[in-house]
Amino acid sequence: MKFAIAVFSPAHAPSSRRALRYAEAVLAGGHEIARLFFYQDGVHSASANLVVPQDELDVAGQWRAFIQANQLDAVVCIAAALRRGVLDEAEANRYQRPAVNLPAPWELSGLGQLHEAAQLADRLVCFGGD
Amino acid sequence: MATLHVIAHSPFGDERLRSCLRLLGADDAVLLCGDAVYALRPGAAPHQQLQQANLADRLFALDEDLQARAIENPLATAVDYPGFVALSLHYDKVNSWL
Amino acid sequence: MAKSLLIISRQAPWNGPSAREALDIALAGGAFDLPLGMVFLDDGVFQLANGQQPAALQQKNLAANLQALPMFGVDALFACGHSLASRGLAAGDLALPVQVLDDAALTGLITQYDQVVTL
């Protein structure tokens, strides 16, 4: 079965980690992830500039590794990301901001990508909250 | 089409669980995770609401959240992540109360 | 056939971008001609109150975006009667033409859609 997974919370929220563990279980169960979509405060889960103490879980880093290892389509909503200072190189240049915190494998795009993923998938599962 | 409702907020001072139970269909299920599992503490008002909702085998809780919070729970069926994925497929859709 | 999506919005309008971003999901889906419905529940019904003046908070008016919903093909608009009544809002005095539903009708509505998300 195909899943579209949407994340609405930042890396420090329990629900970002929960979404990651769920996504891992989806693949481990032999299912497919049509797309990961990061919206609202979920765009912070994609930030490459998070620094966590060595003895704490680096959820953003784990998301990045998971997406790369499984070559997943991971889209960050561009409007939500700009508003929260999550920028790729093109947007940092466009708005003349001093830092880039969204390198590959993440991709900035619009909300249409969420709808497309929901149409492609058998299940749309969203994660947010505590 | 039956819905799996997922709640991840503490029921104390938050309306999600109450609204969810109000709108729950006869075949719908509820999965509590994160701070929402505090609803399973016996003696608390949300626990009574859950009992009154009479969900029987349609109430689930994420096991890691129960363990982390030392909640002994006879009311909900504990599930792990593969169980969460299986529930998502057993029900026709998943409604997360973000 | 396209899958239908029901968006349940339960955020008050001026506590941050949440309400607007929930609405943006509906508007984006409408732009793709997808079968969408929107329900205003809990504090979400405050989005529908008449006569709001968000300019006092230097905020853009949400009403313009709400009124754009039917133009984007999203005309399945509903409000929870219980939420309206418990917040002192009269069903006949709202800024958007919505169908007011009781709990049983809302339960039935959720059943009809292929996918649901509550923001």
User: What's CA A76's distance to the chain center, in Å?
Assistant: 6
The mean per-residue pLDDT over the stretch A87-100 comes to 96
Active-site annotation holds for A126: no
Beta bridge partner(s), residue B31: B6, B60
Predicted pLDDT of residue C91: 87
Question: What's the rounded Cα separation, in Å, for the pair A43 and C105?
Answer: 35
> Into how many domains does chain C fold?
1
DSSP C2: P
Question: What's the rounded Cα separation, in Å, for the pair A56 and A45?
Answer: 15
DSSP 3-state of A38: strand
Chain A residue numbers touching C25 (CB-CB < 8 A): 39, 111, 114-115
Query: What's the length of chain B?
Result: 98
Summarised one tens digit per residue, pLDDT across range B21-67 is: 999 999 999 999 999 999 999 999 999 999 999 998 999 999 999 99
| Chain B 22-81, residues with CB within 8 Å of chain A CB atoms | 33-36, 62, 81
pLDDT, chain B, mean: 96
For strand C76-80 and strand C99-101, is the pairing parallel, antiparallel, or unpaired?
parallel
> Into how many domains does chain A fold?
1
DSSP 3-state of C74: coil
Please identify every stretch of chain C with a pLDDT value under 70, giving residue numbers as ranges.
none
Nearest chain B residue to A20 by CA distance is B81
CB A90 within 8 Å of CB A47: no
Residue among B90, B89, B23 nearest B53 (CA): B23
- What ipTM was estimated for this complex? 0.96
Domains in chain B, CATH or no CATH each: 3-97 (3.40.1260.10)
Q: Which domain holds residue A68?
A: 2-127
Chain A residue numbers touching C2 (CB-CB < 8 A): 119
Predicted pLDDT of residue B60: 98
State the pTM of this model.
0.96
- What CATH number should be reported for the domain holding residue A72? 3.40.1260.10
Q: Do B33 and A18 make contact, defined as CB atoms within 8 angstroms?
A: yes
Predicted pLDDT of residue C58: 92
How far off is chain A from B52, nearest CA to CA, in Å?
25
Predicted pLDDT of residue C64: 87
Q: Which domain holds residue C109?
A: 5-118
